[in-house]
Structure 1
Amino acid sequence: MDTYYVVNDPKDPIAVRATENRKQDYLFWNEVKPGLEDDFDISCHTLATRTGLSERRTRDITMALYRLAELPLTMALQETYYFLDFSRLITIDAVLSKLGDIPTETLERIDQELARYLTPTRPGQVLPSNTNLRRKLNGLIAVENPNTEEAEETDARNDSYFTYPSFGGKAGLAVEFDEATLIAIDEHVCKAAEEHNLSKAEALAKMLLGEIESRAKVVLHMYRAHDLEAAPAFIRGFGWISPDTADNLHPTQTRNMDLAKEMESESYVTPPLIGAYVEGRDGVCRWPGCNRPAETCQKDHRIDHSKGGKTAGSNLASLCQHHHNIKTDGGAFYIMDPHTGDIVWLFDDGRWEYDEPQGPLAPKNKNWALTVGQAIAARRAAAKERNDS
């Protein structure tokens, strides 16, 4: 059976028409995008006035198309399926822009992994959401270590702190830290916001001004391969971090997720170790397209505990309250592969959708992290050998 995303379902008339719309939109903008020698501002202004879009949008679309041309494997997928709308294409460019002028070999590695991530492997598979696509790309660039000695010297001069005016009497603050410091700061702000029922911005301001004090204990949850020295790591609530950053974080407690995967409990309440595995596998709510973080979701027993269902990773899935209610009310039902965590959702009208886990322990991400770790370990060994010779 051919593999395809739900958005490309050849038997669904809505999906067929939507695919044709995306295709024509993509082909149109490729035809009218400014050339490399054209005046960019004037060209985007002309496109904006002719299409009714904002100049910002026409700039974003143009940059996204030129970025896609630098990713030939991903572009080939797009021109096969026409599954990526401009929102996703713009996300790809926006995230990769963080790397600045990207070396060719780096782009090739990112292109290979991105194409692998976006290639459908099952019929009726759910297309990765914009949020999950952004997470994946952030993970890819995290392990490339783009920092140079020049960048480190700039950080030392503290040039990464500045304020700027906004609208409506507001202003912004932009500041950069090394990843480990920012992760700790973000966790403190999140805890203070939760403790005092504030937004994160309000909590940060009140903490800096001495108006509140967070007394909550900050705990970072990091997933990392234990059998490879140079593996990247995933911080819950933050995302993928580089191996160097992970090396600088020293866990006070470690838990074996391989053991947690096989654990079972007689209790209906999910034990913390099993829950940590389920969250690390799922990443987000397992309803197709939902992006609520797994750690804020319920642990749903696919087979009810009262009917003999195990409290184990093979029978638990992360579902937010809203989608848990839909499942409980019988509006949809799912079947889960106990080994991979892949889920097939079955709906009352006969439709079905295939959802893959998105967390750091999901097979795709786990294998990628190991492969990256091996490559980085080999690169470090080669560099050491050059320095020693």
Structure 2
Amino acid sequence: MEAYYIVNDPKDPLAVKATEIRKQDYLFWKDAKPDLEDDFDITCHTLATRTGLSERRTRDITMALYRLAELPLTMALQETYYFLDFSRLITTDAVLSKLGDVPAETLERIDQELSRYLTPSKPRQVLPSNTNLRRKLNGLIAIENPSTEENKEAPTKNNSYFTYSSFSGKAGLAVEFDEATLIAIDEHISKAAEEHGLSKAEALAKLILGEIESRTKVVLHMYRAHDQESAPAFIRGFGWVSPETADNLRPAQTRDMDLAKEMESESYVTPPLIGAYVEGRDGVCRWPGCYRPAESCQKDHRIDHARGGKTAGSNLASLCQHHHNVKTDGGAFYIMDPHTGDIVWLFDDGRWEYDEPQGPLTPKNKNWALTVDQAIAARRAAAKERNES
């Protein structure tokens, strides 16, 4: 059976109409976008006044289209299926812009992996959400941005700290840290916010001003391949980080996720090791299109524990409270491939939808980690050759 996203379902009249709308919107803007020699500001102003969109939106669309042209494999997918709306295309450009002036070979590696990520592998598959696309792209750039050993400079004082006025009596604070430090700070603030029932901004202010103390021990959960050098890592609650950052986050304890995948428990309550595997496989809530992080979800027994269902990765899925309730109430049911974690959701009206796990332990992300290792080796070899020439 041919693989396709539900948004491109050729037998669904609604999906067909929506695809045609996306196609016409894409082709209109591709034809209307400014040429490289045009005055950018004036042209975007003209487009804004003619279309009713803001100038900011016309600029974002234009930049997204020029970025897509730098990703030929991804553009070929888009111009075959017309499945990406401008929200996703703009996200792609915004995230990749973090790399600055990108070498051609870097864009080629990103294009190859992005096109693999966006290619449907099963029929009636759910299109990756904008949030999951952003997470994937952040993972791709995490291993492309760090400096190599050959061109690292001596440590300098971090002066990236400034305040600014906002509106309605408010003001902002902007500060940058190295990635490892920021991850630890963010987790500390998150724990304090949870402990005291505050927002993260409130917790940050009260911690600095000494109005609260955090008695919670901060623990970072990092997923990283153990069978290869220079592997990137996934920090729960943060996302993908570069191999260099992962090297600086030395774990106090390591746990074998290959072992956790095969573990079973007689208890209804999911043991921590099995839970860590399920979260690392799923990444997010497994309801199609939901992007609530797996660590914030419940562990659902696909086959009820009371009916003999195992407390094991092969019978557990991450579901947020809302979608857990939908499943419990009988509005939908799912079957799961015990080896890959792929899920098919079955609905009362006869529909079915296919959902792939998004976490760092999925086959796609594990295979990507292998290509990352090769990419880093190639990048460092090229840097060394340039320095010696």
TM class, shorter-length: over 0.9
In the alignment, which residue of structure 2 is the partner of 1:252? Answer: 252
CA distance in 2: counterparts of 1:150 and 1:193, whole angstroms: 41
Alpha-carbon displacement from aligned partner over 1:132-168 (angstroms, at most 9, x marks no partner): 0000000000011344799976982434222222222
Q: How many residues align?
A: 389
Identity of aligned residues (%): 87
Aligned to 2:96: 96
Aligned to 1:311: 311
Residue 150 to residue 366, structure 1, CA distance change in 2 (3 Å): closer
CA distance in 2, matches of 1:120, 1:155: 44
Secondary structure of the 2:240 match is: strand
Q: Which amino acid aligns with 1:185?
A: I
- For 2:39, the aligned partner's letter is D
Contact 1:286 1:357 in 2 (8 A): yes
TM-score (structure 2 length as normaliser)? 0.95
Structure 2 residue ranges without an equivalent (≥5): none
Contact (CA 8 Å) 2:99, 2:145: kept in 1 or not? no
Q: Which amino acid aligns with 2:310?
A: K
Partner of 2:361: 361
Contact in 1 for aligned 2:148/2:380 (Cα 8 Å): no
Match for residue 65 of structure 1?
65
User: 334-343 or 164-173: which moved more?
Assistant: 164-173
Equivalent residues in 2 for 1:370-385, closer than 5 Å = 370-377=370-377, 380=380
Q: Distance in 2 between matches of 1:106 and 1:269?
A: 45
| Cα distance in structure 2, aligned partners of 1:155 and 1:124 | 51
Q: Which amino acid aligns with 2:295?
A: E
Measure, in 2, the Cα distance between the counterparts of 1:277 and 1:157.
39
- Alpha-carbon shift at residue 355 of structure 1 (Å): 0.3
SS in 1 for 2:269: coil
Assess, with a 3 A threshold, how the Cα gap between structure 1 residues 152 and 178 changes in structure 2: closer, same or farther.
farther
Distance 1:6 1:155, change over 3 A: farther
- Tell me whether 1:192 sits opposite 2:188 in the alignment: no
1:239 alignment partner in structure 2: 239
The separation in 2 between residues aligned to 1:30 and 1:116, in whole angstroms, is 24
Moved more, 200-209 or 18-27: 200-209
Contact 2:224 2:233 in 1 (8 A): yes
Kindly indicate whether residue 175 of structure 2 is the aligned counterpart of residue 175 of structure 1: yes
Name the structure 2 match of 1:41. Answer: 41
TM-score, normalised by the number of residues in structure 1: 0.95
Larger deviation, residues 250-259 vs 162-171 = 162-171
Cα displacement string for residues 323-359 of structure 1 (whole angstroms, at most 9, x for unaligned residues): 0110011101101000000000111111111000000
* Equivalent residues of 1:88, 1:130 under 8 A apart: yes
Q: Which amino acid aligns with 2:96?
A: L
Larger mean Cα displacement after TM superposition, 115-124 or 152-161 = 152-161
Going from structure 1 to structure 2, the CA distance change for 1:198 and 1:151 (only over 3 Å counts) comes to: farther
**1:114-193 correspondence to structure 2 within 5 Å:** 114-147=114-147, 156-193=156-193
- The residue that corresponds to 1:9 in the other structure is 9
* Counterpart Cα distance in 2 of 1:155 and 1:356: 42
2-structure distance, mates of 1:187, 1:95: 23
Q: Distance in 1 between matches of 2:151 and 2:163?
A: 20
The alignment partner of 2:227 has SS state of coil
Contact in 2 for aligned 1:297/1:321 (Cα 8 Å): yes
The 3-state SS of whatever aligns with 2:79 is helix
Structure 1 residue 179: deviation in Å? 0.7
Code of the residue aligned with 1:247 in structure 2: it is D
RMSD: 2.2
Counterpart-to-counterpart distance in 2, 1:386 and 1:21: 48
Call closer, same or farther: CA 1:252–1:388 in 2, change over 3 Å.
Answer: farther
- Answer yes or no: is the 8 Å Cα contact 1:228–1:374 preserved in 2: no
Q: Which residue is equivalent to 1:76?
A: 76
Q: For residues 266 and 57 of structure 1, do their structure 2 counterparts lie closer, same or farther at Cα, with a shift above 3 Å needed? A: same
